[in-house]
Amino acid sequence: MKNLINMLPRQVRIVLVLILSPIVVMRTIQAVLKLHKNDAFAGLDEQALESQILIPVLTWDAHETAKIRDAALAFMAEDRWEELAEMYRDAEQSLEKTPQGSRHYQIVLNVALHEVRGAIAGQTGAHPADMLERLEGVHLAHPENYALALFAARGHLDLGWAYRGSGCADDVSEAAWKRMMEHYERATEILDGFDAEELRSPGIAAAIHVIARQAPDNTMLKRVYEVWHALDPANVDIYQQHAFHLLPRWGGTYEEVELAARRAAATTNDMMGMGAYALFYGEALSEEPGLMEVADPALFREAVNDYLASKPDHVVVNTQLKRATEMMTSAYMDAELEALAQPWRMMARDLCRDIIQKHLHAVVHEIWNGDASDALYAVAAVFREEIEAGNTLEFSDEGMVIQPPAA
């Protein structure tokens, strides 16, 4: 608390310390920092932006996801498990995805697990063990079917993690660890004999990656990741999951994240240039800002541009612009992080300009938490000079055009 207070002006510190309670002090500090974070948007008028930034606004098309989900639910409702398994296998082999980037096979898997997960979350009134027993029974009736084995194994992994809880390892009781490991061991038994590479199954590899996170070191984790990545190299989730589990909190190091990011970019260069480097760091930087110490901001900017050039999709472009905007407006209470963030904020501003000029054609308002005006602020923060000069920014499938004010 003392360090936080020292960041404020002396007069403000005196008032806070003498008058306000500790809770109010903290809230005041947060408010001051929030104002600092939003300096890029200060003075911008939303009504003026709407008249000077002309860009189509699209809605998230969930039709394809709903179609896959409904078909899978119908198979489950009628106990047509073998057909559900065939649907899953076909989706794995095709690696088809929705417009939002979700793999079809991941949607089918989520449906297969929805009863177990609903029970774990307390949404159905059913006991998770009863729902898991159903998946176990189907697996035992068809022990050679790898998709049905995967459904049962992932159910065990979900329930095991629920017993553990999401808190720090030191806060987990011995009993909770024991119950978790019982389910993880059962999942390992179920998957034993199914080879992800031979089956061309990224789902099997993903499940083993979850199990490997509990190993005493990350040797197995890295080995499984290589298989998982090779089976579905364009899957963003793979990079994000692996990067997160290479962080120090999981026994890894920043240097391991950097090495893995560069290696992933090298192995997928023909597919997306240096794009994988950005995918590795996209969420990891938010989870662990200290990664700014080892990551290369110039390479990150290049990687995002490469990725967007290889994947001209409205959802992806909006997601990357939102992330770059958050990076550009970031603020840290820790002095060391704040120093590390300065070159990243400068890079992020240039990256926002790159994305807007080269890749942005429309706004997907769901990406901006349902508020398309946030996207307008992001554009205006970078093109403030052009906006204040009275220019109009027009977006279309051809890109952005700056129109001068009428004479």
Between strands 57-58 and 53-54, the pairing is: unpaired
Residue 8: pLDDT above 90? no
How high is the pLDDT of residue 37? 42
Task: Kindly report the average pLDDT of the chain as a whole number.
Answer: 88
> Is the confidence at residue 33, as pLDDT, over 80?
no
Per-residue pLDDT tens for 280-316?
Answer: 998 999 999 999 999 999 999 999 999 999 977 899 9
Confidence of residue 2 (pLDDT cuts 50, 70, 90): very low
Which run of H or E residues covers position 393? strand 392-396
Residue range(s) defining the domain that contains residue 23: 1-42
Does 199 reside within a domain?
A: no
What confidence score (pLDDT) does residue 10 get? 39
Q: Is residue 6 part of a domain?
A: yes
Distance CA 119, CA 122 (A): 5
**Where is 50: in which H helix or E strand?**
helix 46-52
Question: Is the predicted pLDDT of residue 30 greater than 70, yes or no?
Answer: no
| Whether the Cβ atoms of residue 239 and residue 276 lie closer than 8 Å to each other | yes
Q: What is the pLDDT of residue 40?
A: 67
What tokens were used for 47? 């009504």
23 falls within a domain: yes
The predicted structure's pLDDT at residue 20: 42
Question: Residue 406 — pLDDT band, cuts 50, 70, 90?
Answer: confident
* Per-residue confidence (pLDDT) for residue 1, from 0 to 100: 40
User: Is 180 a member of any domain?
Assistant: no
> Whole-angstrom Cα distance, residue 220 to residue 208?
9
Q: For residue 97, what are the β-bridge partners?
A: 103
**What does the pLDDT average to over 213-224?**
93
Q: Which residue has the higher pLDDT, 168 or 255?
A: 255
Q: Which residues contact 49 (CB under 8 A, 6 or more apart)?
A: 373, 376, 377, 379, 380, 387
Q: What's the pLDDT at 168?
A: 78
Tell the residue number behind the tokens 């109009």, with chain if given: 392
Task: Please check whether residue 37 lies inside any domain of the structure.
Answer: yes
| Count of domains forming the chain | 1
| pLDDT at 19 > cutoff 90 | no
Whether the per-residue pLDDT at 320 is higher than 80: the answer is: yes
Q: What is the pLDDT of residues 48-105, one digit of tens each?
A: 888 999 999 998 878 899 999 999 999 999 999 999 999 999 999 999 998 778 899 9
Q: SS3 for 231-271, per residue?
A: HCCCCHHHHHHHHHCCCHHHCCCHHHHHHHHHHHHHHCHHH
| 47 inside domain | no
- For residue 39, what pLDDT is reported? 62
Q: Is the pLDDT of residue 407 over 80?
A: no
- DSSP track, 307-371: HHHH---HHHHHHHHHHHHHHHT---SSHHHHHHHHHHHHHHHHHHHHHHHHT---EEGGGGTT-
Sequence letter at residue 31: A
Q: Which is more confidently placed, 225 or 7?
A: 225
The pLDDT of residue 15 is 39
pTM score, two decimals? 0.85
Torsion of Cα atoms, 323 then 212 then 221 then 153, to 10°:
-70
At CB < 8 A and 24+ separation, what contacts does 224-230 make? Answer: 225/260, 227/196, 227/197, 228/196, 228/202, 229/264, 229/267, 230/197
Could you report the per-residue pLDDT of 107-136, keeping only the tens digit for each? 999 999 999 999 999 988 889 999 999 999
Q: Is 13 part of a structural domain of the chain?
A: yes
Look at residue 36 and tell me whether its pLDDT is greater than 60: no
pLDDT confidence of residue 115:
95
Q: 365 near 73, Cβ under 8 Å?
A: no
In this structure, is residue 115 part of a structural domain?
no
Write out the E strands in 10-88: 53-54, 57-58
Q: Are 363 and 56 in contact (CB under 8 A)?
A: yes
